[in-house]
Chains A and B, each alone.
Chain A
Amino acid sequence: MTQTWSSPKYREICKSRFSNLELPVSDAGSDAGSAVKRALLSVLLLAPLGAFAVTACRTCRLSGVVELDGSPVDPRVNAGAQASVLIFTRSDCPISNRYAPELNRLAASFAPRNVAFWSIYVDKSQDPALIRQHVADYQLPGRVAIDRKHRLVALVGAQVTPEAALFDARGRLVYHGRIDDRFVDLNIARPEPTQRDLEQALHTLLSGSAPTVAHLPAVGCLIEDLR
């Protein structure tokens, strides 16, 4: 019953609007110019805020992305890591919370392969003390950052929590979207996921190729505006 990664259904999804999205960071290669144009074009058309973030971060660090002690950080690139997984989350989203055991399982299974895990908190009203408590309660794996200005949200195009973003060793976004297909809608969950998309993307990336699917929509709590 499990669908294979290259099944027709997924190939069709590959044609979705984010399939060619490649976000450059400061060490982007020689073809960075055309990549930027492509990225700008697609993002400009679809997500004006995202475009702003991309241009803004061409030359600067991610403004407003900080660790719990307030120090600025760019979770996309982690020294020595072959891949970085960012999970957009908030403490009071029940769907995010239900994924805590699954995230622990993934972090444990990819730990030997140098994959960095980050929880990215997106709600402006959640302070570091509350987040610390939440991370401890749910024993979330990896490191923690707060995306105060939604720079990462815009850069990835994240819509909901929980939503995953997978970056390669050079900090390029290779997959973003659902962790798996357990939730079909807010009120409809499968007893077990039939497709573990983040895990599959990680395997593909670590085997040396780019994941064939760049984006699958996630089900969860809508990320609220900052205003």
Chain B
Amino acid sequence: MSAGLFVWAAVTLVSAGRLADEVTWARDVAPILFKRCVACHQPDSVAPFSLRTYEEGRAHARQIARVVSQRLMPPWLPEEGDFAFANDRRLTADEIELFERWADAAAPSGALESAPPAPPIASGWQLGTPDLVVSAEQPYSLTGDGTDVFRNLVVPVPPAPDGASRYVNALEFRPGTAKVIHHAVMFVDPQRDGRKRDALDAENGFGGMDVGTAQSPDGHFLGWAPGRVTTPLPEGMAWKLDRGADLVLQLHLLPRGKPESVAPQIGLYFTEQAPTRVPMLLRLGPRELDIAPGVRDYALEDEFTLPIAVRVLSALPHAHFLGRSMRGSAHLPDGGTRMLLSIPSWDFLWQDEYRYAEAVELPAGTHLRMRFTYDNSADNPRNPHQPPRRVQYGPNSTDEMGELWLQLLPVDAAELPRLSEAFARKDALDHCRQFARAAREQPDDANAQYDYGTALVAANQFEAAERALSRALELDPNHISAMVNLGFLKVQQRDFAAARLRFEAALTLKPDHLNALRALARICEELGDYRAAARAWRKVCDREKDFAAARNYAWLLATAPDDEARDGVQALTWAQRVANAYPQDPTSFDTLAAALAEGGRFEDAIKAAQRALARARNRGDQALQEGIEARIKLYQARQPYRQPRR
């Protein structure tokens, strides 16, 4: 009897203990799902299924346990290092164990009425109604079959009503209904080069990862990935969106078995406040990369010593399908080493920007190093070439790259130029090394010589640059770009007569080469040939709406020391156009004033010059203020202004 009671008590206790220990959706699993997973795993998101309800969780319980224990989900590549990331998505070991126990117990629900409420589904613009919503003119149609697609869509930005540039302090990306956008990167394209690339094929946008002249604006990465929370930029860190610039939207698309129409939207939030803190994107990673087929452990290394103290805000690594591991480290002047970022197992599909929870302070003299490794063997399943082939540096996903971008703020903003100059020198030398190899390997290829020559110009190695560019011209006497760059090289050396010959030769072959025309106009001014300069400016103005060219043309017609070159009537026509189009620019009204004075309308000239003066004061342009004040005195003495003869 007593033994039976004992057994009964023991069984009861054990099952009670089991019940208390049982992992349930309501008590244990739902809070983790809601915190870590449902930002993506909600209806109509990029994730393949929603995990907001018990039934949805139950239907994937074993799969969830497997992917979290393999740390495939939530997607997060860096291993734990010396600095925490603000956007860290990793689960704790305890959380993973809960998922495993829940699946093993066949996904019990627990008391559903006691479960926490699921977070609200994000809908609409997260930051409120944007000041401007832009999108590509046409959606992109993605087929259901095949492998990853990179497509760049040109997104025109209508100009502000007053024609001014704008400052963007937040950008929100909305992927639309298609579940195929894996991630997106946005660039600003002031030269609208993307439109030319877009026109090359019948489909909307253009392919590949090379976005031409488009760039990240003022040291900001503009990226989006599912689940990323959009936040406005910190105070004083807005970026400038120039008038007329397009956005280029680079989409990484994953075909999902059925065709999809891709039509994302971008919301822009503007601020009146011009930036007071401009970050810089520092790029580590040689552009020279050459991996023989079969090599399993190719290493790519780079380094840079910081000339000033900085704060590192974020890190963004990039490689393609051969990339294996990535490390970025800081070697401090006191001998210490800090791991900025370490990714033991790179996955091209889950690239992200890693933002530090607190900015990483690095003193002047810190030595930054990057080391990436690559596997170009047949054993790398992601290898785009089977059998493996030689792979070199290049922007397409079948080429390879290695970049570690660091977003930095100088501790002392006034020191930023020292950092940018030091970095520009390093970058120019990198470019030289990249193109030197191609020039060596293809000594009879005019373009290879030309690329090398332009890289040498940027690195201030003028003599070597002249040799390479001249060699390109020997190989291809009609190489217009080589002529133009040789012209710029001569300008750099202040040999204006020689430069003029180069530009004139280029213009014989291509009469509407705008950069050559602009350069020729300036050179002729330098040489004192004001009539030739006026002819060149006129050609630029006839071909393109170019504020600087129109203003320079009007200025020359109004103020040339050479009587033959001046034309007061034409000067006034062009100066008025400029002032109408760009009323905020002080030089617009300074030019209008000079044209009015040339025509003898000194009272009007003084009024225009005073408007110019007020705008120059607003801008804090001391030299321009002094020039305008001197001209006002001339106009008051009823004399037109003449620029000094050169």
Q: How many A-B residue pairs have CB under 8 A?
A: 78
Query: A55-106: which residues lie under 8 A (CB-CB) from chain B?
Result: 92-94, 97-102
Which segment of A109-117, A142-150, A184-192, A210-218 sits at the interface? A184-192
Q: Is the CB of A190 within 8 A of B256?
A: no
- State how many angstroms separate the Cβ of B363 from the closest Cβ of chain A: 39
- Give the interface segment out of B56-64, B229-237, B406-414, B626-634: B56-64
Chain B nearest CB, measured from A92 CB (Å): 4
* A1-B378, A92-B49, A97-B258 known; A186 vs B59 contact (CB < 8 Å): no
Contacts of A92 on B, CB cut-off 8 Å? 48-49, 59
Contact A137 B147 (CB under 8 A): no
Cβ-defined partner of A100 (8 Å) among B70, B257, B384: B257
| Most chain A CB within a 10 A radius of its CB, from B58, B63, B67 | B63
Contact call B387/A224, Cβ cutoff below 8 A: no
- Bound complex: CA of A98 vs CA of B257, how far in Å? 4
Which chain B residue shows the least CB distance to A137? B258
Contact of B256 among A97, A187, A221 (CB under 8 A): A97
B59 to chain A: which residues have CB within 8 Å? 92, 123-125, 224
Instruction: Assess the A227–B106 pair: CB atoms within 8 A.
Output: yes
Q: Chain B residues near A186 (CB, 8 Å)?
A: 66-67, 70, 72
Cross-chain pairs A/B with CB under 8 angstroms, 21 sampled: A92-B48, A92-B49, A98-B256, A98-B257, A101-B144, A102-B145, A138-B257, A186-B67, A187-B349, A188-B381, A190-B386, A191-B321, A191-B382, A223-B62, A224-B58, A224-B59, A224-B60, A224-B63, A225-B61, A225-B106, A227-B106
Instruction: Write out the residue numbers on chain A whose beta carbons fall within 8 Å of the beta carbon of B70.
Output: 186
The answer to whether B60 touches A139 (Cβ under 8 A) is no
- For A1, A97, A139, A191, the residue with the greatest tally of chain B CB atoms inside 10 Å of its CB is A191
- Interchain CB contact (< 8 A) of B386 among A97, A99, A138, A192: A192
Residues on B with beta carbons closer than 8 Å to the beta carbon of A227 = 106-107
- Majority-rule SS of B interface residues: loop
Given contacts A188-B381, A224-B59, contact A99 B257 (CB under 8 A): yes
Compute how far the CA of A93 lies from the CA of B63 in the bound complex, rounded to whole angstroms.
10
Asked whether A225 and B258 contact (CB < 8 A) given A184-B381, A186-B72, A189-B382, the answer is no
Return the CB mask of A155-197 against B: 1 if under 8 Å, else 0: 0000000000000000000000000000010111111101000
Is the beta-carbon distance between A194 and B386 smaller than 8 angstroms? yes
**Given A97-B256, A188-B381, A190-B381, are A222 and B62 neighbors across the interface (CB < 8 Å)?**
yes
Q: Does B55 contact A (CB under 8 A)?
A: yes
In the bound complex, CA of A190 to CA of B257 (Å): 16
Contact partner, A191, options B55, B144, B257, B384, Cβ 8 Å? B384
| Interchain CA distance A101-B147 in the complex, whole Å | 12
Instruction: Report the minimal beta-carbon distance from B257 to chain A, rounded to whole angstroms.
Output: 4
A 21-64 binary contact with B (CB < 8 Å = 1; else 0): 00000000000000000000000000000000000000000000
Contacts of A98 in B (CB 8 A): 255-257
Distance of A97 Cα from B180 Cα, bound (Å)? 12
Report chain A residues within 8 Å CB of B350: 187
Judge whether B347 is part of the interface by a CB distance below 8 angstroms. yes
Binary flags per residue of A123-146, CB closer than 8 Å to B gives 1, else 0: 111000000000001110000000
Closest partner residue, chain B, to A188 (CB atom): B381
Q: Assess A1 versus B386: contact at CB under 8 Å? Given A92-B49, A190-B381.
A: yes
State the Cβ distance, A146 to closest chain B Cβ, in Å: 14
B384 contacts which chain A residues (CB < 8 A)?
Answer: 191
List chain A residues, Cβ under 8 A from B106. 225, 227
For the complex, what is the distance from the CA of A188 to the CA of B383, rounded to whole Å?
Answer: 11
Q: How far is the CA of A65 from the CA of B117 in the complex (A)?
A: 37
* Nearest CB in chain B: distance from A116 CB, A: 21
| Residues on the A chain within 8 Å of B72, using CB | 186-187
Rounded to whole angstroms, the CA-CA distance of A222 and B642 in the bound complex is: 83
> How far in angstroms is the closest Cβ of chain B from A135?
11
Contact assessment for A138 and B60 in the assembled complex, using a CB-CB cutoff below 8 Å: no
Among A92, A101, A139, A224, the most chain B Cβ lie within 10 Å of the Cβ of: A224
A192 to B381, CA, bound (A): 9
Tell me the smallest distance from the CB of A37 to a CB of chain B, in Å.
32
Point out the residues of chain B lying under 8 angstroms from A139, CB to CB: 258
Other A-B pairs beyond A100-B258, A190-B386, A222-B63, 15, CB < 8 Å: A1-B387, A98-B256, A99-B257, A100-B144, A100-B257, A101-B146, A137-B258, A138-B144, A187-B350, A189-B381, A190-B382, A191-B384, A192-B386, A222-B66, A224-B63
Give bound CA distance, A187 to B381, whole Å: 11
Assembled-state Cα–Cα distance A1/B67 (Å) = 31
Which B residues, 170 to 226, have Cβ-Cβ distances below 8 Å to chain A? none
